[in-house]
Structure 1
């Protein structure tokens, strides 16, 4: 089919020869071949014509005046358009040197003179066909390169035989690496991948090299400028006839913008535009995840459903834009309150996830993971309600808004997310019915328990102001002479409705609500003032022991508090004993030991309470400035008939004697226990055998008198009775263990 018939333009040939007759013959032949012809008489004319008409092929004579064929060929190849244009040189020079010069100058092929016309036709068709294919390939490559640049699509290839890697220019651009610095091996290529993604890349490559189908993976690409781009990589293998892997081909495409767009779309789908908080869709997904996790860990989790009270009046009076601004402030305040709660530490809760979302309108939700007790959820709700006690400023107006909170606990109140939300919603409406600005549990039993604890907490905060605390004192007695050698001050809460509340009922609550420091200081001051008052009234001067909480001993200002208290009460420091537990020492040894050393330097006596029940360390025990060790009542209780407890007491006594520390046994209730302890070498005791904790007025008569509990044995007061007793623990140990002592 001719060019005219096919609708395409016939190829154009530029014939360059200084012989007009030959040009005429060539023109006639080319036209028969369907080729259009332009002519030039020498090299200079050829260059000018080439620039003007851009021919598809050049037929170039070698021997010409002014500019021969070799020079003309080189000049044509120097032009951008001439780099791919085929040049057929016509020469009567048939020596090898001339042929080499033709090819060196850039000739595509040559044809000797005199011209073989059929050969010229064949050669012409072949060259034009090849040139068209080359041009189409170049155009295709250019289109591909443009497409890859637009799509940010690069490629690379790993050769299995050599282990070398080659890559496309777009891959270089994507990595921001110069060609000479691009890794030439697969391990080097991995250096461009974000470290946490390298393992997945290797796994994908291994799958692709095996019998698996082509694989794809997304990873972070480390650019030379330090930026990280999100990249999608597609991997395929090339195999030979036997199935052996020849090469691994990969394409890499920059999908950073797509990822960012997906994240923006996800944010629109899962986040609230007004507050920036996650929305209901996000919350339901997260709630299902947390429920599943709680089930695996056998933990509780809580849903707090929060609804603003009378929020409609904000919209009605200030407008919806003000209402939206208010909702934004509410969201920030909820976030701040939850962060503060986490910083302070939810009671009994480990580090756990807390999620906040806006459900719509004026409804918010808080998810609490790792809830150890229902009181933990109540505490968070209480802090949220406290946060709403501060005014909001909206468009220049200061306004208040409260909230009602419903609480549901998984798994008790619902097995799935929708059930929990429904339960929390119902509890929220119950809070509305109870007058708003409060929280309620969905479960009646949980509600009662949490309400009772919070009521106790609120009453505890007011107890100091109402002077409802009092001290009872338990005597410390010499087990042989039964004389009073000290007192231990024990706090009681004289509740106006509950009566006398024991420490075990309110001290844990005081520690959780951070009232324990105030109670500690009150106990310390009251005990010091009372001891001074007894002495001023003529009573015997004995040390009074005060139990301080671990929070107090870990407090940098403890020494100053004690010093001020002693100065205000005019009590000699030697008449004050402070008791510290092993657990406190282990929790923050450096701070506590520093406080103990400063207290000891002041003259205050120091006692280690409940020794042997914690993680006792002789190394730290030796370094601490202690005066006394107290044997825990659990060992005292079983010392008669219990070989293990008797042996432990003997060991504690030996430690005390070695470190020159006084020993006090707690919880002594029977004569048999008293006898065993004396036999072991522990003479100072306290317990119900000698007296229960008593109020101030009952203790005054004990100072300077014997303890009225059991008849003393006069023989035990005879001179020499104690001689050798402290060194005969081994003789008494069997009798204590068999229950025959005393």
Structure 2
């Protein structure tokens, strides 16, 4: 952090006002590495004092600070003639929209959301510095002003009487129209039709002499239907003796695309494109509020495909994924044909069907007049889903079981209605599957099938019916095995092979998570030692750990105990936590994570990319590796969005000195793409499926093992 930097060079001095010490240190370090001279303070009063004495070129101001908050500090700086010209960028979280408006009213000229994305912050500072230089030159002379404007990186234009009267080369390139068209047509015609009203209101507010509102975003409709997102900030000026508006416009198309991708990851299912549980609950809350006002009924339908595991086991996950997408498409078509959904059916169908995970789908029917209409939709679903699917040359037939709950009869909250629909669905399965059942009070409590499964799992644990399979992890550079991931399997007498996705919830419900976790960990460690005694080189052994046990801090005792009991070298053990659990870790569990790391155990983040974390979150933990979720790998190469996300994850991980493992690699083209981006390891069916322990030795003897120490 720069405390006593040489201030003789006044071109790049940035004042950081931030009370979060860790964030302040990160920002200062990153800016200094880019050649900026940085001064930091911790509250508004210090910011005012430092600004008056040092006259920085730009200030990055946190809004929520002790002693004096950011908004009050901005007001004082802007009322002081000696400091009023210094541009201020505010940093805040997205939810504080009212504070953002207040900061612009106080005199700030831009904002950036926290936690900071450093390239965006640097770009924002550079943009503000460029604009500041422009303002300085405007005061000096019109000739210098024009020279700077024409070479500015931002698009700069002047609108007078609704017509473009001036624009710099950057603006001409951004708008992508011949100069003659730009000057002969109203500027509003170049704005996307859906955004014109907002742009006209903003423009009118500037002309009225009121302080401009915060920088706003809109779309420009360029030629050939090429739509670009821009961010604009306008001010009132005098242009040849008449009022006009001067606008500074930045192309934010790439940023908008990234925001949409991240929103998709947060609210939509990557496999089917349908809303996920979070998005569905949000829509359900809105529908319930409307139903309460209009005293109308709603129906929640919970669907679970019958024997879907057999599809995966017989044809593989690739065909299983295709089937799930096809089912989602059929459900949407069914809703569009239904006459009991609200009139704006095209708008709501996409949010009335959701995938909750696995082979579970949930539907919401609104504006119900007669419960018999719900039965009609349920029967149509049963009939439509049972019709054969032609997928990749295979004819697949599946059925579904449906549970139904009604508002207000069965509940008034989303959680209650979904839970009751789920219970009714299990009742449908108990009655032979391929049918629908309405919720009834008699279904309250745990379903008989669930109770039976819990007992079966306890018997399986006690009777040594559980087993571990091992899937190799291949180092891309050397094309040799560097480690193995241990995966639990349960051979159920009726259900066949049960995977971790189903075992884990059952174990948590029945209180078996701790003994099962210990069994998995102990079995994996003993197998590792057995392979060593058999003469195999040492490899990493990756084991998924329970988020529940980690939150309860039970793993911090379990893992060292098992390592001591078995005598396994901790450096060969890698525990995997999901990204979502990492985001929920508090101070105590963070200390537990650090303790495990100090014992020598490696720590990896599993399913990375699905939890909406950031560089700021990851830097807080002593991690060793990231595993890119298979939902991104399956669409590369060929899907531009997935390619961008995977490339970004690899680059980010390497910047944090983390190894990257791509999960679910099934094709040579995927391997080639990952190798070109510098991915370290792969795991997937391209090299090997999960194998029983006795198949690992011949595989390793054939492929070789890379040293991991």
TM bracket, shorter-chain basis: 0.3 to 0.5
Higher relative contact order (CA 8 A, sep 6+): 2
Greater radius of gyration (CA): 1
- TM-score using structure 2 length: 0.39
